[in-house]
Structure 1
Amino acid sequence: MLKILFSPAEGKASGGSEYAKEILGSNSARENILNEYNNILKRGDEETIKELFGFKKFSDCKPYINDIFNSPLMCAVERYQGVAYEYLDFDSLDEKSQEYIKSNTIIFSNLYGPILGGDTIANYKVKQGNDVGKFIPDRFYKDRFSYQLDLYLAKSEILDLRAGYYDKFYKVTKPYTTMKFLKGGKTVSHWAKAYRGLVLRAVAQNNINSMEEFMALEIDGLSVEEITVIKNKTEIVYNITN
């Protein structure tokens, strides 16, 4: 089976109606960092909360100040809002494609760590790179969850669509495939998010179950420029053609 590694987004949809359920690698370690986050909000120190969320105005923080253990829940792939998720356009996919993403995509949250697209999470805010109290999320989850992820991914092929920052949460130890996008011969940075979303959408729509199937997949607007292999990493370089 193919598993896709994906990034979260700073923006979140509010609300939710899903029931709480066990999430990927769920254990007491994750509860520790969630409790730390919740306690920061309960203490109500405005400067600390603004710093954690990455906001200048405390009024912008208020929608996120809720008890995370008693908040409405939503599937992670529906909760996140950003360029990649806009181009993924999850809501417009058919049910089979949606279930594919929920079951086969691992998103690396700045609060929850590695979660499946279908795992339910509360509306939260942690600016990328920020500590959560005494916890440094990328180090914390790399230390506590890498072994579990190695086991979980042992029999799967891996397509890594994460932004580079999220490599800090988990280093893939087996062969995997990643990609780079070129426009006019130059590497695309910000808009790479859009194409990662489009790639995930195409993978789900075509129910891709192996890298062999993926390599045969034609994706609108992209053509393969070259493929390089360094140790366990295969990088596909795409030209953006539209």
Structure 2
Amino acid sequence: MKILFSPSESKNDTCKEKPIDKSSFIFENLFDFRMQAVKKYEEYINNADLKALQELFGIKNENEISNFQRDLKNSPTQQAITLYSGVSYEYLNFDILDKESQKYILENTLIFSNLFGVVKASDHLPFYKFKQGAKINNFALEKFYKEHFSKALDEYLKNEELLDLRAGFYDKFYTPKRKFSTYKFIKKGKVVSHFAKAYRGILLALCARIKAKNNAEILNHLPSNLSL
């Protein structure tokens, strides 16, 4: 089973491994498209005014902005699953999982980066900042990646059970053509949003612990605070 997952805007600035190259990513033949996006991003952050950068990064503090104006092609990296540190990743708590559970996540989880597009959890990324939905002038990365990566993803996932744990925004990057399972989190009759991030992390950790092969296995192991 393959699991589609969202990134987070919060990240760990702890990268120590070699800079990105073709081998850093799934779909090596599409590496040049990723680099096109990175080039546009770097040109923009090196020439945009303060207001535009505040919008792109989603931060107001001027002193923080320079920390994100980096040469990403030559920056150190780390595995995507350990780079992201938002709510979903806190509840996943990857570092405390046993080695086999970690291996399951690294091999079976696809994360939809707002800047780099779809990556495996085991792929390597540099520390970067890009607010969800932000635009680089008229260049919409979600449309760009949907156009250039959907065919490869369809082929990669064609024989897989599929679980989509992404936030709805990431349908703009890729819409599965095959049947898939997903979860909506409801409390007192209302769909929850913030807590949904936590539940997605909990479900990914559950999948890893039970080495889930399909959604039926997940349903049979739901924790007591989650029920149908």
Q: TM-score normalised to the size of structure 1?
A: 0.87
1:41-79 per-residue CA deviation (whole Å, 9 max, x = no partner) reads 334643432232122232121221211011110111111
Structure 1 residues 140 and 222, CA, compared in 2 at 3 Å: closer, same or farther?
same
**Residue 172 (1) aligns with residue 176 (2):** yes
What's 1:161 paired with? 165
SS where residue 88 of structure 2 aligns?
A: helix
CA separation in 2, counterparts of 1:44 and 1:141? 23
SS where residue 175 of structure 2 aligns?
A: coil
Q: TM-score normalised to the size of structure 2?
A: 0.92
For structure 1, the 5+ residue unaligned runs are: 225-242
CA separation in 2, counterparts of 1:211 and 1:223? 14
SS where residue 118 of structure 2 aligns?
A: strand
Structure 1 residues 170 and 107, CA, compared in 2 at 3 Å: closer, same or farther?
same
CA separation in 1, counterparts of 2:41 and 2:10? 18
Which residue among 67, 71, 76 is the counterpart of 1:72?
76
What's 2:25 paired with? 23
What's 2:57 paired with? 53
1:175-221 per-residue CA deviation (whole Å, 9 max, x = no partner) reads 00011112223221211110011000010011112233223223242
1:11 alignment partner AA: S
- Greater strand content: 1
CA separation in 2, counterparts of 1:57 and 1:114? 29
1:23 alignment partner AA: F
* CA drift at 1:98: 1.1
Higher relative contact order (CA 8 A, sep 6+): 2
- Greater helix content: 2
SS where residue 74 of structure 1 aligns?
A: strand
SS where residue 96 of structure 1 aligns?
A: helix
- Residues 33 and 132, structure 1, Cα contact 8 Å, conserved in 2: no
CA separation in 2, counterparts of 1:218 and 1:130? 35
* CA drift at 1:131: 1.3
CA separation in 2, counterparts of 1:90 and 1:157? 22
Which residue among 111, 116, 139 is the counterpart of 1:107?
111
What's 2:8 paired with? 9
Q: Percent identity?
A: 42
For structure 2, the 5+ residue unaligned runs are: none
- Residues 36 and 133, structure 1, Cα contact 8 Å, conserved in 2: no
- Residues 4 and 160, structure 1, Cα contact 8 Å, conserved in 2: yes
The equivalences for 1:1-242 within 5 A come to 2-19=1-18, 20=20, 21-26=23-28, 27=30, 28-43=32-47, 45-224=49-228
CA separation in 1, counterparts of 2:48 and 2:146? 29
